[in-house]
């Protein structure tokens, strides 16, 4: 942006009224000439401003037109393979890997480099250059070298922990067992159950135990606006895992890309379908005894497309239920480990009173009880604090209709 030029000072002259007429006339003439000068400068500036305005208006028009075309047509994602002379570019479309030779508008040609991700329209003309791929990868994946969560942090689902260890941990830590017996370990493990029951924790704990990199991607992140982008992210996900073996790939909310085919055949659905096919083909071409394990999670098991549950895919289903009474007691104990708890606290009693609570809800109960202790100026949490916390949570719940109606796991 060019800065606006400074406005010249208004000429000023003190003319002594007692001067003889001719000298006053001379002074006035000088003043008049100054004014003419300034006037000229100002009209030049005005012209320039007018031109600038014109240019800005043209630019605004162009951006608006571009915006219109972007809005009106769907764009495809492609990677720039090569830039030839005379502003021609070879791009490879994501999704179908088709290579095409295409023109670039002069406006964009300086900004593309081989390897860039670009959006192309139906006739393959490059519309815009997308942000660097590494950013997209980093944005949508959560990568932890070795998560902190351990099995000891998980309460009430011992059977599920055992199953996960068998299906995920053993193939990583003792692959020879499977070799000797001559069986393939499960390809993928699907954890399903209501929210807040420890599914994510379980996946992290296995990564911790096996000293594996934990790579998490949410299914909702894979549902992308651009055609080809979701499947590209799936490929990136597996590539990332291969770079960081041993690794646990955790796909949360897998229902987002694997719900049963709906009636509507919009392009959005087709894109989601393609993303899922990419995931399945990555899993199919996978060395089951390798150093990468796949875990997915959902709380919409009823909605899942059965195709992902076939042998060789998510062929080990583990239901993670809400904790039972003993489970709740264990989870209470886990979440109060670091708290200063009075001797009068009866966890068994509290477990009786928390029927239907998930692990996550029990965690917030413990925190809430701590808040009551603080409010009462105590550094020790007593049984009554838990009772008060329970009452408060119950009150909050009954005024919050959505929290009970929005619960759809069956």
Ligand X SMILES: Nc1ncnc2c1ncn2[C@@H]1O[C@H](COP(=O)(O)OP(=O)(O)OP(=O)(O)O)[C@@H](O)[C@H]1O
Q: Which residues form the interface with ligand X (CB under 6 A)? A: 154-157, 195-201, 297, 299, 331, 334, 359-360, 363
> Given the complex with ligand X, which of 228 and 327 has the nearer CB atom?
327
Residue showing the smallest CB distance to Mg ion in the complex: 200
> Given the complex with ligand X, which of 237 and 362 has the nearer CB atom?
362
The distance of closest approach from Cβ of residue 252 to Mg ion in the complex, given in angstroms and rounded to an integer, is 5
Q: Is 354 in the site for Mg ion (CB under 5 A)?
A: no
User: Using an 8 Å Cβ cutoff, are 249 and 294 in contact?
Assistant: yes
* Distance (Å, whole) CA 151 – CA 353: 25
> Given the complex with ligand X, which of 190 and 201 has the nearer CB atom?
201
> Given the complex with ligand X, which of 95 and 155 has the nearer CB atom?
155
The distance of closest approach from Cβ of residue 195 to ligand X in the complex, given in angstroms and rounded to an integer, is 3
- Give SS3 for 68: helix
**What are the structure tokens assigned to 203, written together?**
């996946």
Residue showing the smallest CB distance to ligand X in the complex: 359
Residue 274 CB contacts under 8 Å (≥ 6 apart), including other chains: 95, 227, 228, 230, 231
Task: Name which of Mg ion, ligand X, none residue 117 binds, using a CB cut-off of 5 to 8 Å depending on partner kind.
Answer: none
The distance of closest approach from Cβ of residue 337 to ligand X in the complex, given in angstroms and rounded to an integer, is 11
The distance of closest approach from Cβ of residue 200 to Mg ion in the complex, given in angstroms and rounded to an integer, is 3
The distance of closest approach from Cβ of residue 402 to ligand X in the complex, given in angstroms and rounded to an integer, is 15
The distance of closest approach from Cβ of residue 150 to Mg ion in the complex, given in angstroms and rounded to an integer, is 17
The distance of closest approach from Cβ of residue 217 to ligand X in the complex, given in angstroms and rounded to an integer, is 13
Q: Is 187 in the site for Mg ion (CB under 5 A)?
A: no
The phi and psi torsions of 270 (rounded to 5 degrees) equal -60, -40
The distance of closest approach from Cβ of residue 277 to ligand X in the complex, given in angstroms and rounded to an integer, is 25
Q: Is 228 exposed, middle or buried (0-12, 13-18, 19+ CB in 10 A)?
A: buried
Task: Name which of Mg ion, ligand X, none residue 366 binds, using a CB cut-off of 5 to 8 Å depending on partner kind.
Answer: none
Task: Name which of ligand X, Mg ion, none residue 156 binds, using a CB cut-off of 5 to 8 Å depending on partner kind.
Answer: ligand X
* CA dihedral for 250, 256, 260, 266, sign (positive or negative): negative
Which residue is it, tokens 């917030």? Answer: 364
CA-angle at 158, arms to 156 and 164, nearest 5°: 130
Q: Is 102 in the site for Mg ion (CB under 5 A)?
A: no
Task: Name which of ligand X, Mg ion, none residue 155 binds, using a CB cut-off of 5 to 8 Å depending on partner kind.
Answer: ligand X
* Distance (Å, whole) CA 230 – CA 242: 19
Q: Are strands 316-319 and 117-120 parallel, antiparallel or unpaired?
A: unpaired
CA-angle at 199, arms to 197 and 204, nearest 5°: 130
Q: Is 336 in the site for Mg ion (CB under 5 A)?
A: no
> Given the complex with ligand X, which of 102 and 299 has the nearer CB atom?
299
User: Using an 8 Å Cβ cutoff, are 350 and 332 in contact?
Assistant: yes
Q: Are strands 188-192 and 292-298 parallel, antiparallel or unpaired?
A: parallel
The distance of closest approach from Cβ of residue 204 to ligand X in the complex, given in angstroms and rounded to an integer, is 8
> Given the complex with ligand X, which of 308 and 331 has the nearer CB atom?
331
* Distance (Å, whole) CA 287 – CA 178: 13
The distance of closest approach from Cβ of residue 250 to ligand X in the complex, given in angstroms and rounded to an integer, is 10
Task: Name which of Mg ion, ligand X, none residue 219 binds, using a CB cut-off of 5 to 8 Å depending on partner kind.
Answer: none
299: closest CA among 190, 207, 222? 190
CA-angle at 332, arms to 330 and 335, nearest 5°: 110
> Given the complex with Mg ion, which of 89 and 189 has the nearer CB atom?
189
> Given the complex with Mg ion, which of 116 and 252 has the nearer CB atom?
252
- Give SS3 for 52: helix
Pick one of 79, 187, 197, 200: the residue that binds Mg ion (CB under 5 A): 200
> Given the complex with Mg ion, which of 199 and 335 has the nearer CB atom?
199
User: Using an 8 Å Cβ cutoff, are 31 and 15 in contact?
Assistant: yes
Binding segment for Mg ion (CB under 5 A), chosen from 200-208, 234-242, 284-292, 336-344, is: 200-208
Query: Half-sphere exposure of residue 212, counting CA atoms within 13 Å on the CB side?
Result: 30
> Given the complex with ligand X, which of 223 and 360 has the nearer CB atom?
360
Q: Is 358 in the site for Mg ion (CB under 5 A)?
A: no
Which residues lie near Mg ion (CB under 5 A)?
199-200
């Amino acid at each position: 942006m060019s800065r606006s030029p400074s406005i010249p000072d208004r000429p000023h002259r003190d003319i002594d009224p007692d001067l003889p007429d001719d000298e006053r006339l001379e002074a006035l003439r000088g003043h008049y000439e100054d004014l003419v000068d300034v006037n000229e400068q100002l009209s030049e500036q005005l012209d320039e401003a007018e031109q600038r305005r014109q240019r800005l208006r043209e630019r605004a028009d162009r951006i608006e037109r571009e915006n219109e075309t972007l809005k009106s047509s769907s764009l495809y994602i492609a990677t720039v393979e090569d830039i030839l002379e005379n502003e021609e570019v070879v791009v490879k479309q994501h999704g179908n890997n088709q290579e095409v030779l295409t023109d670039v508008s002069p406006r964009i040609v300086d900004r593309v480099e081989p390897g860039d991700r670009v959006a192309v329209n139906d006739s393959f003309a490059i519309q815009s250059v997308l942000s660097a791929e590494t950013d997209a990868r980093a944005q949508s994946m959560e990568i932890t070298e070795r998560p902190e969560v351990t099995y000891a942090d998980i309460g009430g689902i011992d059977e599920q922990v055992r199953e996960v260890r068998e299906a995920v941990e053993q193939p990583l830590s003792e692959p020879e067992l499977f070799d000797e017996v001559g069986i393939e370990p499960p390809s993928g493990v699907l954890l399903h159950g209501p929210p807040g029951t420890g599914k994510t924790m379980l996946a992290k704990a296995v990564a911790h135990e096996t000293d594996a990199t934990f790579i998490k991607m949410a299914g909702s992140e894979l549902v992308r606006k651009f055609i080809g982008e979701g499947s590209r992210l799936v490929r990136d996900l597996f590539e990332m895992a291969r770079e960081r073996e041993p690794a646990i790939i955790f796909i949360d909310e897998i229902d987002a890309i694997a719900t049963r085919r709906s009636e509507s055949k919009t392009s959005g659905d087709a894109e989601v379908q393609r993303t899922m096919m990419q995931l399945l083909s990555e899993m199919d071409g996978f060395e089951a005894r390798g150093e990468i394990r796949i875990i997915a999670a959902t709380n919409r098991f009823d909605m899942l497309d059965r195709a992902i549950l076939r042998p060789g895919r998510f062929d080990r289903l583990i239901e993670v239920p809400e904790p039972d009474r003993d489970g709740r007691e264990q989870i209470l104990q886990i979440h109060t480990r670091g708290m200063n708890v009075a001797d009068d606290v009866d966890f068994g009693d509290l477990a009786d009173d928390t029927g239907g609570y998930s692990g996550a809800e029990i965690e917030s109960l413990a925190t809430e009880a701590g808040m009551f202790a603080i409010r009462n100026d105590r550094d020790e949490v007593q049984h009554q604090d838990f009772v008060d916390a329970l009452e408060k949570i119950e009150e909050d719940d009954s005024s919050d209709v959505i929290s009970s109606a929005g619960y759809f796991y069956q």
